[in-house]
Every structure is written in C-alpha cells, then in structure tokens.
Structure 1
Amino acid sequence: MTQHTCVFAHRGASGSYPENTMDAYMAAAEAGADGLEVDVQLSKDGVPVLIHDETVNRTTDGEGWVKNLTYEELQTLDAGSWFHDDFSHAKIPSLEALLTWMRDRPLQLNIELKTGIVDYPGIEQAVIQRVEQYDMIDRVILSSFNHYSLVTVRQLHPTIETAILFMEGLYEPWHYARTVGAQSLHCSLPVAVPKLLTAATEAGTPVRPFTVNEPSHMKALFQAKCAAIITDWPEQALQVRQEIMKTS
C-alpha cells in the first residue's frame, strides 16, 4: 500500500472535462491520478452505465430517466457538448468499457452504486460480476449512500472493499461501518475534521473525503495522511502533493 495520500479523480478529471466520460477518465490517468471515482446506474436493459444523475437531462442532449432508456438509446446521446463543444463526441460509457480500458493501467477504481433514489434490482450483482470478469476485485471499492446496497454487496462477495458514503457528523462511524460490512469511510469534506481523521486512523479505517477542490484543503488532508482525497481537479491535487513531498 502506498504511504502517501492517494488522489482519486471525481467522475474523472471533471473540473476540466465532461464528467463520467472516457475523456475525463483518460485525462485523470494521464495526469497521474492514483484512482477514479465513478457513478453507476442501470439502463432499462440492465447494462451498468456511468452517469451521476438518475436522469440524462443535465449531462446529455437527451431527456428522461436512465432506467427508462436502453443501452442502445443511451449511446445515441451527446454527453459532452453541455460542457464544451469540443466534446460533442463523448458518450455515456458502460462500466465494461471502463474496465476494458483500465485492465492494463495501474489505477484504483471507486464505483458509487447510485441506489439512493432509484431502486435498481440486481445492480450490485451486475457490477460485481463485471469486476470479477476483469479480475479487478483487489483494485475496486464499492461505495453508496444507500447502505442496504453495501450489505447486499457483502452478501454477494466476502472481500471486495466497501465504503459508506455520508455527509453528516456520525459518531464513531468506523464502528457503524462494520455493522454493514464496510471497511472504509467516504465522507463529505466538512465532516473530515482532524478529530475524525485521527480516530479513524487509530481504528485502522481508511478515510477518503469528497469533494476536495481547494488547494488549502488538499494540503491539510495530505498532511493528515488520510487514505485518499476525491477531487474534480486531480492535476492540481497531484501538484500540491508533490510540493508537500518535496518539503517533508
């Protein structure tokens, strides 16, 4: 395991590229990010696809719920022009497309199961099957705000790493995480106070705060040696980390 704090690119390098597109993932890898954070939903025909919102309205030129569109229909949408005309070629990637591309690259992958609003029956199994198929169980973390999903993951697979997503000041969340079989804490940035980071480290529980975009926050978390930060700006985070490593 690396000694330094890892940098995970939030929806890819989403500060500079359209989120959850191959362009954003490739840019993050090129910048030197340690890992990617992506969001998974299911198409109408059960294909795990990478998109943050439950509808396609915000990040494509289409309209409607992801769950009501087939994979083929989703592939007809432009998932980049909303960000900039240069990305009109971008599509909504399938999880399988990302895993195929990642297989020969030393990246970690945090997959957020988007089961908080839409109930996607079988999404946990569909994701695990594909991760196993590409022999990437040891490089993947499954996280969710819906902790019932994490219990399902643990029932389906004994060792894949899971992380609770949360945005509140939970008391000793490392104890609670164990009740759902999770090993890690993915908390919103304001929750990642020194007291939490110190106690979680003592409890042997990795903490990966999101979404860390200000250099001052990056620096504080690198110095606190948390397991990782999740950021829209991996290029900047890597620069801040490099500067700290030079002076330490």
Structure 2
Amino acid sequence: MLAKGVCKVIAFFLILVTILVLLVLYFKKTKSNFPDNFTMQHSPLKIGHRGASGYCPENTMASYYKAIELGADFLEVDIHLSKDGILVVHHDSTLDRTTNGKGNLRDYTVAELKELDAGSWFHARFKDERVPLLSEILENFRSEVGILIEIKHPSLYPGIEKKLAEELSKREDYTSDKKRILVHSFDMESMKRFHQLMPDIPVGVLIKRRISDQKLKEIAEFASFLNPKQTILSTKLQMRIQEQGMKVFTWTVNNKKQIHMLKKMKLDGIISDFPDYFID
C-alpha cells in the first residue's frame, strides 16, 4: 500500500513538472518581436483600412489624416512599384477604379502617377488628391501612428521586398515603440523574403480560406501574426493561431456590433474602413 502511495505521488509530481515545462515552452514561444507597448495592450488595435476609406478616397493623404482624426492606432497601407522603381501607395494593380488613369500602375513613372486625380471618383471635393508614395506616408504619419504595410501582388514586382527594406532602413527609428511598422501580404513566400531582410520588423500573412495546422506551423516559423478574413474567423481558429505563438488580426469589419463582438474575443487588431466604429 505504501509503495502504491509513493508511486502515485511520484506520478503526480512528474505530471506537474511536465505541465510546468510545457507552460514555459509555450510562453517562450509566444514571445514575439512586437514592441512592448503592443505586446501588453489588451484592446485590439484600431487599424484604418486604407486610411478611413469609409469617409475618404482610399489610400490618399486625406484618408490617412481622417483615420488619425478618428483615433486609429495603425494606418493600413498598400504598396506597389512604379515603372521607375519607387514604392507607391495604391490598392489595385491597375489605375482605372480609383484614378483617371488607365492600365497597369507598373507602366507609369512616379511623375506620371502624380499627375493623376485619385480623389474625384469618391467625391468632387477630393479632386486634388494624388497617389501618395510610401516615403510620404512614413514621413507624415510614422511619428503619430503605426503603419501596417501590405505588399500587393509581389510576383508582379521582383525585388519589392528589398525596396521596402531599403526604404525602412533610411529611418533609424523604424523599430521604436512609438513608431511601429508591421508588414503583411497574402504571399507567404514574399513575407519569408522580407523577414530574412529585416527580422526585427514583425510580419504577418493574410488568409481568406481555411488553413491546416501544418500550414499554420509553417507560417509561425517566420510570422508574428496571422490576419484571417472576418468571414472565416472563429474562436477555434483564433485559438489554433495563438497556439502557434502568433497574434490574431482580422479584416475588414465595418459593422459596429461585430466590432464589439470581436473586441470581446480579445483579438490583437481589427481592420476597418471606419476607425470611429470602435465602441469603448
């Protein structure tokens, strides 16, 4: 009887030690390269989708100023490369939808892009808005808010990751707490390349379809966050992502009640066209 009792105590002790070891490994794994003030925040980051694109023409200076006015923590910025190799802020790979230009953005030089009207399609009062450069966004806003940069269609722009790394490297304070930079893309290989170039900048992957545990593990090898579309987000998926040590964002949420519900899930970031829809 005594021997059985001793065995039970030892077994219990071994189980306890195993649990403690697993907890230590888990917390070690979930330690990311996000700035401390972001890691410790409890409310989701308010991320202005292409600025405040519910109120202003997307990816314009007016839209970004409005997002800051409405309390955004981060500005979401889409980038492409111009014909002369400059990082340009625009969503589509073509110009037709949101400017008076025609055809592929990559066929235009920056000087030509700057001649285009990027605001009248939204409302006549924005007729003076132009296609901004990433350098202009960083120069004007990086001291006030974080910048979430999405590399659009990287396969169209070989070397765009290196161009982005060079642009960010011009600014010595790009990793400081108050001037945060995050980078993400739908293209996992692009994020691997950028992570190798700038391992101190947190990178993430956007997804809009179901994802396997194996793929999550693969992404977690280099990414600090995953950004699933709101239509596929669930508590189960959130837990699966967090189990791999990544933070969880979602896009694009334009309903006040849904934002409130997602805040209760304690997500790390919510992307919205309406930064003022976040209810405290």
Asked whether the two chains share a fold, i.e. TM above 0.5, the reply is yes
User: Aligned pair count?
Assistant: 236
CA deviation string 1:140-162 (max 9, x = no partner): 11111111111110221222111
Question: Does the 8 Å contact 1:115/1:149 carry over to 2?
Answer: no
Cα distance in 2 for residues equivalent to 1:103 and 1:38: 12
Question: Does the 8 Å contact 2:50/2:58 carry over to 1?
Answer: yes
Answer with 1 or 2: which has the greater Rg: 2
Residue 33 of structure 1 pairs with residue 75 of structure 2: no
Cα distance in 1 for residues equivalent to 2:201 and 2:270: 20
Residue 130 of structure 1 pairs with residue 171 of structure 2: no
Report the alpha carbon displacement of residue 202 of structure 1 after superposing the two structures with TM: 4.1
CA RMSD for the aligned pairs?
1.4
Residue 143 of structure 1 pairs with residue 184 of structure 2: yes
Question: Does the 8 Å contact 1:131/1:137 carry over to 2?
Answer: no
CA deviation string 1:149-178 (max 9, x = no partner): 111102212221110111011023541312
After TM superposition, where is structure 1 displaced by more than 2 Å over at least 4 residues in a row? Answer: 171-174, 198-204
What are the within-5 Å matches in structure 2 for residues 146-225 of structure 1? 146-172=187-213, 174-179=216-221, 181-225=222-266
Q: Which runs of 5+ in 1 are unaligned?
A: 243-248
CA deviation string 1:94-134 (max 9, x = no partner): 000000002321x1111000125x52022111112212212
Cα distance in 2 for residues equivalent to 1:34 and 1:174: 27
Q: Which runs of 5+ in 2 are unaligned?
A: 1-37
Q: Which residue of 2 aligns with 1:20?
A: 59
Cα distance in 1 for residues equivalent to 2:205 and 2:142: 25
Question: Does the 8 Å contact 2:255/2:277 carry over to 1?
Answer: no
Cα distance in 1 for residues equivalent to 2:158 and 2:129: 28
1:207 counterpart SS class: strand
Question: Does the 8 Å contact 1:174/1:205 carry over to 2?
Answer: no
Question: Does the 8 Å contact 2:146/2:181 carry over to 1?
Answer: yes
Q: Which amino acid in 1 is paired with 2:152?
A: K
Cα distance in 2 for residues equivalent to 1:199 and 1:149: 23
1:169 counterpart SS class: coil
Cα distance in 2 for residues equivalent to 1:8 and 1:125: 25
> How does the TM-score come out when normalised to structure 2?
0.81
Cα distance in 2 for residues equivalent to 1:102 and 1:133: 15
Q: Percent identity?
A: 36
Name which of 128, 132, 144 aligns with 1:89: 128
Cα distance in 1 for residues equivalent to 2:159 and 2:270: 29
CA deviation string 1:195-217 (max 9, x = no partner): 11233334431111000111222
Q: Which residue of 2 aligns with 1:78?
A: 117
Residue 111 of structure 1 pairs with residue 149 of structure 2: yes
